[in-house]
Each structure stands twice: as structure tokens, then as C-alpha cells.
Structure 1
């Protein structure tokens, strides 16, 4: 295994940042906006405007939201397993190291 060093100051005094510290908080907020419950509410609203029974719009929204949630979870887990974010204690810069 290779030793990871800071690309700015070449120090090996590094700290691994957690996913929340690495800036994934914004992504999680976006994922919550596309949750099955939010998509169901959107489906009900759209179905009322299109004169379709609201239950149909709600069910379609739940299915679409669930599918989006599964896809997003797979993408997020792949991102977290491939990328590691570090903070250098020497120069206080943060950087991403991609796992080989």
C-alpha cells in the first residue's frame, strides 16, 4: 500500500475526513428532496391538475421516488468507496485521493 502525502506540502501528517465533513451534506439534502414521500406529494399535485385520481399520482410518485432512491444510494456508496478526502495538518489544505 502506498503512503499518501499532501500534494501541496508533501507532508504525511493527514487526517481522513468523514463523508459529512467532505461535503456530502448538500447531496443528502438533494436526496431527501427526491424521497418517495416528496415524489408522492408531487404526483398527487400533478394528478389533480391533470384530472387523474390522486391515488394514481401518489402511487406513481412513490414508485419513481423509490427507484431514484435506490439509484442514488448505489451512486453514493460507489462515490464513498472510491474517493477519500484528507485534510493536511501541515498546510490545512484538503484534497481527494482516488482509490486504485
Structure 2
């Protein structure tokens, strides 16, 4: 069984983040408000090649928190944990704390 996956080309391995279903005070949140499709980047491929053969690196790095599309990606299970594999250009953006 594989313990680590190194994505090929411009693919990114992401662990989806599950937002809390209730506040710290114990108030239950509606499912709609807890549905932010985000995840933490676990591993990144080296990038893809353009028409001229030059390497185009992936725009995110390990540890980044990214915004994901509602659908897509390939589900992967490694060491009893669930991950999703996305192409670099499918990622909508990087979430940063202000």
C-alpha cells in the first residue's frame, strides 16, 4: 500500500477541509453556511510542459489552502485518509488570512 503520492505533471493532491458544523458556543450552523469547498495542498507535481517544451511550474505549493470547484477531481485513498487529485488549472484560487 502506498504511503505517499507524488502527483504527475501539473496535478495537485489536496486534503479537503471540513468546516465546523457548529460554533464554539454550540450553535448548530445550517449546512449551506458550512459548504466552503476548500482544502490543504499536500503534494504538488513538477508542472507541465508548454508547446515549446518549457516547464510551466504549478502555481500552488504544499501547505497552501485553496478554493476548489464544486465538482471534479479524482478521489484517492492513502493510509486510510481521503484526498482529491486536481489539475493545477482547476484550482480556483488560494485562500489567505487577512
What interval of TM-score do these two structures reach, taking the shorter chain for normalisation? under 0.3
More strand as a share of residues: 2
**TM-score, normalised by the number of residues in structure 2:** 0.26
**TM-score, normalised by the number of residues in structure 1:** 0.26
CA radius of gyration, larger in: 1
More helix as a share of residues: 1
